[in-house]
Amino acid sequence: MDVHESALELIGRTPLVRLRTPDDGRSAPVYAKLEYLSVGGSIKDRIALGMIEQAERDGLLRPGGTVIEATSGNTGAGLALVAAAKGYRAVLVLPDRTSAEKIATLRAFGAEVEVRPAGLPAEDPEHPLNVAARIAEQTPGAWLAGQYDNPANPGAHYLTTGPEIWRQTDGRITHLVSCIGTGGTISGTGRYLKEASGGTVRVIGADPASSVYSGGDGRPYFVEAAGHFRHPETVEDVWPQSYHQDVVDDVLPVTDRDSLLTVRRLAREQGLLVGGSAGTAVAAAERVAAGLGPDDLVVVILPDSGRQYLSKYFDDGWLLRLGFLDGDGSAARVGDALPAAVRAQPLPYVNRRATVGEALALLRARRAGGAEPVLPAGPCPTGGERRPTAPELSGSLALDTLTRAVELGQIAPGDPVGDHLGAPLPQFGAGQPAVAALAELTERGVETAVVLHDGQAVGLIGPQDLHAVLRAAGAAR
């Protein structure tokens, strides 16, 4: 019989499929390793099994025990599935940015899920990693998987992913391209392939452009689960021990727009429905292949399926709202209300650590210049070139409200504004129709909104700006 005795036997052993690339025929062939075909739907099944079985061998996890982890989803699904198959309880802590589909998947496997705010500094006690560590301390029989620092994470890829690729390509692979999250995939797979090839295989990381691994400042980005985010208030930025930089020859930055447009292309043109980090990896692999010849062979790792991101990367509304799509050019768009000169200027923005006095001075200067005295505020550093990204537009400040709070003695001019922020300003993607944005502002009675392009704030607009572009579009017709 051609059968398997449990779901655990269906982890890994994923196929390689040739991708059609823009330079196909002239450049190196690119083969994609389809990790979404593993039984739990992602590459993380491998490390879940590897880490749990190592913990069993080490006597850290015993019958009746509880598996605990802070995870953005896929490791959680892998751990929940292996825990279910082996009879353990699983408790998983996730940031609230995680897609609803991923959270529902964990619950479906019977895991208990704790959701905590995303975007907290590493030192914050409510950061998912700190919450998971606390639960592990307080739960008898608990074992914290700790994928970021657990040697069994890269170890699982050294023992499975690397040998599979070597065997499947008959030792012809010359370049491996992979995203870096914990670093487990690239470190374990890369190390095996380097050893097997006598050191000739080149290992290339694909990284969201603002992630610190490729030299970015760590600001938020929109591809889930890849890269390394650094909150501006994080004091010491610690990199995972699962990431072995000595294995990696180069790390290529890929913009969110490139990653997202690449995943959409993979689905529509090649029938491969994969997640955002696969878009990052394929965009980098295409760049690598374009510089190589037909005798080279590139393998790129596609970590998970696009099904769990249908409400994000594959939803035009989501992309349009964040400014990743340019919208319908035949009608007036929100971005048309922002002249290039305004876009080129730094966005007026208050860091939440600024004092009330500093914020009041900025708001008064705005009123004196004839603008609405309202500003977006949040954790983004101010003063440089850096523009706040959508999640950093977490609050707002209005001159009237702040002045009143000072007069009532609720807040002193030397206090930080952070505890007194109002609701975030509405956000519109530059490609959204101006008419819809105007209707929303009118309905909400709001005078200032933020315009986003590629997920970053590029300017502030009000109803009068939208009226002006609508009038101009009407006159042109």
Ligand X SMILES: Cc1ncc(COP(=O)(O)O)c(C=O)c1O
Binding positions for ligand X, rule: CB under 6 A = 42, 44, 72, 74-75, 179-185, 225-226, 275, 277, 303-304
Closer of 288 and 458 to ligand X (Cβ):
288
Q: Where are the beta strands (DSSP E) in 9-149?
A: 16-19, 30-34, 66-70, 89-95, 112-116, 142-144
Closer of 66 and 182 to ligand X (Cβ):
182
Secondary structure element (H or E) that encloses residue 458, with its range: strand 456-461
- 173 near 201, Cβ under 8 Å? yes
| Catalytic residue flag (residue 44) | yes
Tell the smallest beta-carbon distance from residue 290 to ligand X (Å). 23
Tell the smallest beta-carbon distance from residue 240 to ligand X (Å). 8
Tell the smallest beta-carbon distance from residue 333 to ligand X (Å). 32
Closer of 238 and 361 to ligand X (Cβ):
238
Q: Which residue is nearest to ligand X (CB)?
A: 181
Could you count the other beta carbons within 10 Å of the beta carbon of residue 335?
23
B/e letters for 239-272, b = 16+ CB within 10 Å, e = fewer, are ebbbbbeebbeebbbbbbbbbbbbbbebbeeeeb
Tell the smallest beta-carbon distance from residue 181 to ligand X (Å). 3
DSSP tag of 161 = I
Tell the smallest beta-carbon distance from residue 225 to ligand X (Å). 3
Secondary structure element (H or E) that encloses residue 205, with its range: strand 202-208
Closer of 303 and 379 to ligand X (Cβ):
303
Tell the smallest beta-carbon distance from residue 266 to ligand X (Å). 14
Closer of 72 and 448 to ligand X (Cβ):
72
Calpha distance 292→280 (Å, rounded): 19
Closer of 74 and 150 to ligand X (Cβ):
74
Calpha distance 400→405 (Å, rounded): 9
Secondary structure element (H or E) that encloses residue 435, with its range: helix 434-444
Closest CA to 31 of 281, 306, 252: 281
Q: Where are the beta strands (DSSP E) in 291-366?
A: 298-302, 350-351
Catalytically annotated residues: 44
